[in-house]
Every structure is written in structure tokens, then in C-alpha cells.
Amino acid sequence: MSALLIVLTVVEIALLVLVLAVALILIANRLRAIADGLAGLAGGVASIEANVSLIAVAAPKVNAPLEAIVGALPAIAQMAEQVARG
């Protein structure tokens, strides 16, 4: 009887090790897939960063004329108000 219990215990331990090994393999595969996705994402972020750096250079050139327009808007609004009143 004790020999049977020993055999069953060894079989149980072997099954446990097998299940854990399969689980670890599945986890490793999933982590590899996530790593591949993150590598692609990193490439996309690098591309966005390159495009944004161009915007940072051009923004002051674009904003300079707009500042003059913004400065004139209150006067234009006041004139429009006077015209509307008649």
C-alpha cells in the first residue's frame, strides 16, 4: 500500500512540474508577443517625436504674425460693436 502511495505522489509531482512548465512556456510566449508590440510602438513614438521636433522649430515663425492679429482683435471687436449699434 505504501508503495502505491509513493508512486502516486511521484506521479502527482511530475504532473505538477509539467503543468508549471506549460504555464511558464505560455507566459514566456505572451511576453515575447508583448515585447514585439512594444518594439513597434517604440518605432511609432520615434517617428512622432521626429515630426514634433519639426513643429517646435516652425511654431515661433507661425505664431509671430498671429500675435499681431491677436493684438488687433480687441480694436476690431470694438469697431464691429460700434457699427452694429449704428
Residue 35: per-residue pLDDT: 96
CA dist., res. 79 & res. 51, Å (int):
41
| Per-residue DSSP letter, 62 | H
Q: How many CB atoms lie within 10 A of CB 55?
A: 9
Residue 57: per-residue pLDDT: 84
19-78 pLDDT, tens digit each: 999 999 999 999 999 999 999 999 999 999 988 888 888 888 888 888 888 888 898 999
Residue pointed to by grid coordinates 521636433: 53
Residue 12: per-residue pLDDT: 97
Instruction: Return the sign of the alpha-carbon dihedral for residues 19, 25, 27, 29.
Output: negative
pLDDT at 86 over 80: no
